Each structure stands twice: as structure tokens, then as C-alpha cells.
Structure 1
Amino acid sequence: MSLIGLTKGTDLEEKITEMWKAEAIGAATYQAFAIVAQEKGLPELADELKKISADEARHGGLYASLNGHTNENLRDALSSMSIGEISAGEKIKELSNILDKLGLKEAAQAVHTAGEDECRHGEILKELIEKYL
């Protein structure tokens, strides 16, 4: 049995959407806690918080799937995501330049790295499409 769209249009749809959003926020929050832990010299705690974040992201994916918030045409969906990732990466790099001009060098570098990650994700998606789809 497919999980995709199973709760879409049911009495559970709104609750499942709430859970999806809560899990997405939870994933980001645990990542933020991991940054705090790392900066406080607690790398083991940071690693554990990152694991919890990954679980929360996986749960969010489940709830998104249950409500049909996904595209089953992987080629189209991943192609679109690839373009979005690369575009987002470039915009994030622009933000890093603004942070740098404000004298926030460490924040600028961290944000620049995030932008590079986004662009890399876009390129990885292109490769995955070529390989599998």
C-alpha cells in the first residue's frame, strides 16, 4: 500500500499538515541547538542533536507524503528542485556578501557555505536524474 496521499481529503488532513509543519520546524530547531552546542564546545551533544534533527525531517517527510504534498513524477520534481536549489544558492551567496559588508565575517562565511551547499545539491540532483531517471 502506498502512503502517498493516504490522508489527503480526509478528516485527518489538517492535523497531518500541522504535524508536518511542526516536524519541519523541529528539524531546524534541533540543528540550531546543535550549533549552540558546538559553539559551547560540546561536539558530542551537537552530533546527537543532529541525529534527532534528521529523525524530525524524516517524520516531516512522512506527513507530507501522507497528505500528498509531493510529486510522484520524480524526473519533473527533481528537475524543478535542482533549478530551485541552484537559484537559492546564488541568492544565499548574495546574502553572505551583505553580511560581510556589515562586518559579520563569520556569519557571512557560514551563510556562503550554505549557499555553496544549495548549489551543490542542485548539481547532485542533476546527476541523480541522469543516473536513475
Structure 2
Amino acid sequence: MAGKNFSGETMEVGLYLAMARQAYREGYPEIGEVLVRIANEEAAHAAGYAELTGQISESTEENLKKMLAGEQMSNKAKKEAATKAKELGIDAAHDYFDETSRDEARHAQALAGLLKRYFPKKCCD
């Protein structure tokens, strides 16, 4: 039950944020702000389900390591998708995956930096 709820909540976060972006593009900033606020509340719901279902550790260090590995894997997958989109001549997809792969790399750098700063003896050989 909680697993389905987690998936539903995370999907809603993405949908609400996408709808907010559309509202901003159409010139409805108030609608955009409300949709972003709802997305943040849905994200908090998802966080609660992640805690209930044991998807996070009681160790911040372990949580950082887990997410670092995920960000690195996501970065690689998105780089590959960007390359494939470029080969197929799908510019919009290439641009999207290229941009998001750079975001994932930045996320990985931030997580690695936190590990090095707070857990220097155990981190990042």
C-alpha cells in the first residue's frame, strides 16, 4: 500500500510542477505558485512514505552514498539518452537530456562534497 502511495505522490509532484510551468508560460503566475505549493506538499507526503517503507537509512552518511550512486547512474543514463537523441536528430530531446544530465552531475558533486566534508575518513577514495 505504502509503495503505491509513494509512486503516486512522486508522480503527482512531477505533474504539478509541469502544470505550474505551463501556467507560468501562459501568464498565470498565481496558478503557477499554487501548483508549486501543492507539489511541495505532495513531495512531503512522498518523503513520509519513503520513511514508512524503509527506503532511507537511519544514517545520513549511508543516505548520501545511496543518492550519490543514484545520481551518478542517472547522469550516465541521461548522457546516453542525449547522445542517442542527437544521433536521431531529435533536438528537443537531446537538449532536455543534455541539460538534465548536467543537473545530475551537479547533484552528484554536491553529494560527494558533503560526504568529503562530513565523513572524510570514510569517503570517496
TM-score for both structures, normalised by structure 2? 0.77
Q: Distance in 2 between matches of 1:100 and 1:39?
A: 26
Aligned residue among 15, 21, 30 for 2:16 = 30
Native 8 Å contact 1:19 1:63 kept in 2: yes
Q: Distance in 2 between matches of 1:111 and 1:41?
A: 26
| Structure 2 counterparts to residues 112-123 of structure 1, below 5 A | 112-123=98-109
Aligned residue among 56, 79, 88 for 1:93 = 79
Partner in structure 1 of residue 49 of structure 2: 63
| CA-based RMSD | 2.2
How many residue pairs get aligned? The number is: 119
Native 8 Å contact 1:87 1:119 kept in 2: no
Q: Distance in 2 between matches of 1:38 and 1:120?
A: 26
C-alpha deviation, 1:37, in angstroms? 3.0
Partner in structure 1 of residue 110 of structure 2: 124
Q: Distance in 2 between matches of 1:105 and 1:44?
A: 32
C-alpha deviation, 1:39, in angstroms? 4.5
Residue 80 in 1 paired to residue 66 in 2? yes
Percent identity over the alignment?
29
Distance 1:117 1:132, change over 3 A: same
List runs of 5+ in structure 1 lacking aligned partners: 1-13
TM-score for both structures, normalised by structure 1? 0.73
Partner in structure 2 of residue 7 of structure 1: none
Distance 1:38 1:89, change over 3 A: farther
| Higher relative contact order, structure no. (Cα contacts within 8 Å, ≥ 6 residues apart) | 1
Of stretches 60-69 and 99-108 in structure 1, the one that deviates more from structure 2 is 99-108
